[in-house]
Amino acid sequence: MAEAAVLGMIQDLESLHVTCTDRDDLEMFEDKIVVLKEILDLLRNLKLEERSRLKYLIADLVELGQDVLDMDISWIELRLKCIKDEIQVTKMRMRNFGADENNIGDEEAEEEEVVVGLEKDMQKLLDRVILTKVKELRIMCIKGMIGVGKTTLARQVYKAGAGQFQRHAWVCASTDMSKKEILMKLIQQMVEGYERDPSLEEMDNRSLQRILCQHLQDMSYFIVLDNIPKEMGLDSIFRGLPSEGLTGSRLLFANRYVLRTGNINYTHEMSALDSDKSWQLFLKIVDKITCVENKFSKELERKGREMLKKCGGLPMAIKNVARQKAKQRLSGIDWEQLFDSIDLIESLKLLEPMYHQLKERFKPQFLHFSFFKENALMRETKLRQIWDANGLYNIPVTREFVDSSILKVAKQHFCQIKCHLHPLLHMISIKKAEEEMGLEILRSNGNSRPSQNARHRVIHCGRDRFNHFTKEDCKQLISLVFHGGGRYLDDVSQSYWKSFEALKILDIEDFGLKSLSETIGTLIELRYLGLRNNYIQEIPRSLADLENLEVLDIALNFMMEVPNIIWHMGNLCHLNMSDVIFRKPLTVDALQNIRSLAYISIYDWTCEDPNSSRKYKLLMLGFEDVDGNSDVGKLFKSLAKLPNFYELSVRGFRFRSMPCLDEICFIKRLKVLKLDGRIGRLPSADNLPQQVEYIALINTCLDKDPMPILEKLSSLSKLKLRNAYTGREMVIQEDGFPELELLCINELWNLRNIQVDEDAMLNLRKLEINNCPHLETLPEWIRSNSELQKFKMVTTKHIATKIRNSGLTSEIIEEDIYP
């Protein structure tokens, strides 16, 4: 039947193709026929037993064929590519059908109702999103890693809010579930008379969509779709849901992935529980299983809380541990003994799918998380540079990990992102790295013995000293990472570094290192050298011999002296530093392969015009020590000749004022501009780069309001002001900031009023106001801006109460006002 339907579509197109005379239409028909024949071949290759087992996924394929048939010529190339991708995804799901018997990822579906720490989340979703007076369809998502409580929160919201709607439904998907099955479940729950109607089985997807859409028309509905597979296209589901009309309907997804739709109005990011909530949840589970109210002394409670730290606030892990301990307690073991250890094996098994479900090309990057300390804030730039040094594909990877709830963005300052990896996922990264890439973890306070087969080694140093390794222990090492501190490297022999002949990555960040031996120049394969935040006063001249070195990070070594070697390091791509002393200024010509360089004193950089015959790769540059004597005009003119340059950071010299930056307009391709330090005035809007998208003004202490200038920049999307303006009033005029999406206002100590005219900042999505102690009122504009989704404010208790009571922020989807 499915084959006949697709064959009929092909025949219809072939008939039109024969009579068609327009060349564009002819190509369109030919492209469509190719895709439909791909679907037909896929259906014909199915065995008889597979047809019965995969009947719902077959229905999804037929719908994709119908999508191809209905497609008009506009955007056809892009839309056909999307459908081809979805055909391949469906093919993969058919091949893997039934493989995930335990329905991985849906770990919370059958969890008993023990809820702790979700009260604020639930109230925020109900008040701000579910039960608001907004009459349009709102689509929301609860997002977070496996076991963090997404389903539990969604269930609480559904119980509290579903009764306010005329129709409601809950669908918990499995990895094998088809779009047809979801449509059938929605009809069975929301359309009267179809609760057990067998005729739904025989209908195609389009018929199911029509039934659902027809019966929900002009009705308010609340639907929760839990654990929708990442690969599933959602167009089929949206076609069955009326989006027109003022019914105030709500659609809520609970997923660990960012969904393949641009229609999400609000995403609620789930967080792990704090220490108090973790302990409360543990007690509730234990009391429920032991059927008594367990009481603990202060010392026992301290031990119990210390044990639970290993769970990282993950409810799933806390519940698993609580069940284990409760059952052991029932067998007669004392709590004091039970709190001495923790077994996380079951929790790790439930989390491993987060690794297995990664695309193959992203798994090696995940393994490199094992190089970092537990609970570390990982700089995205460092991650990418380490991946690069090992020859790994890295451009979209960090976003992939964030979108799939493996990494969580902990801090974000414009382009700079710091991410956090949950401790249990960190354990998995270590386990998998040990299994798959030869990782070895050594600790000075344990009985660590180096392996001769290790390819990557992480050393945790404490007060105890290691016995230094033999050449046989080191010759195969590709990566060597030190954590901790102490004097482990202070007394190594002159020949120590000669043992690491294959080393590509050497990271000694935050180690307290005072000096490096000249023999480090023997590491001729080295590509990444991380020496950030140590006490090194001079880098060895032998670094000039590291011909393959791509990344040198010597930042935060106060007043480090750098010999005349940088221009000999021909493959150097990224040089991170600050407060360094150069014996000879750097020239652009000496840095032909450099892509990023920050921060260098403006007096250590010579501004000769770049040689036009060379292909320069410099993208990002940061200067410090800029004062009134600096010739910034000459500097900007030389940077303007670099074809790919787009990010500039400028730091002033202590309390001196920087010169006027009018000539910055020469750098026409500039996208990111950061100014840190006093400046008398801003350049006019005409004298700022017109393509600039991000601007940060920090410690500029401007006397005049910068907004009348900045609001005229038509490409500006993000603006950060920190101690940037000393005045009392800030005015944003009509039509100002047409593309601005993010505005951060921090530490404007004298600011008392922000005036925003009508039709200003129409695209603003996020507004942050922190530590402006005299700003007691907000502009009325906040109430009328329908695009504003998040408002965050850190202020005094008095002002926070006043802002909350004003009602101005009542229509904003998410707000955080502290205290």
Say if residue 328's pLDDT is above 80.
yes
* pLDDT tens for each residue of 267-288: 999 999 999 999 999 999 999 9
Q: Residue 108: is its pLDDT beyond 60?
A: no
**pLDDT tens sequence across 354-408:** 999 898 999 999 999 999 999 999 999 999 999 999 988 766 788 899 999 999 9
The Cβ-side half-sphere exposure at 571, using a 13 Å CA radius, reads 14
Q: Is the pLDDT of residue 779 over 60?
A: yes
CA atoms within 13 A on the CB side of 13: 26
Q: Do residues 756 and 779 touch, judged by C-beta distance below 8 A?
A: yes
Sorting pLDDT into bands at 50, 70 and 90, what band is 72? confident
pLDDT at 708 over 60: yes
Residues 491-539 have pLDDT tens digits of: 777 788 888 989 999 999 999 899 888 999 999 999 999 999 999 999 9
* Rounded distance between C-alpha atoms, residue 553 and residue 549, angstroms: 11
Output 210 or 92, whichever has higher pLDDT: 210
- Using the predicted structure, report yes or no on whether residue 427 has a pLDDT greater than 60: yes
What's the confidence (pLDDT) of residue 112? 54
Q: How many CB atoms lie within 10 A of CB 527?
A: 23
Q: How far apart are CA 719 and CA 697, in angstroms?
A: 8
DSSP 162: G
Question: Does residue 710 register a pLDDT over 70?
Answer: yes
Q: Is the pLDDT of residue 139 over 70?
A: yes
pLDDT of residue 175: 82
In this predicted structure, what is the pLDDT of residue 100? 57
**CA within 13 Å, CB half, 446:** 9
Q: Helical H runs in 640-777?
A: 707-710
**What pLDDT sits at residue 414?**
63
Rounded Cα gap, residues 538 and 563, in angstroms = 8
Structure tokens belonging to residue 370: 């094992």
- The pLDDT mean for the chain works out to 90
CB-based burial label for 668 (10 Å; 0-12, 13-18, 19+): exposed
Answer whether 768's CB lies under 8 Å from 745's CB: yes
Which tokens sit at 541?
A: 């001249």
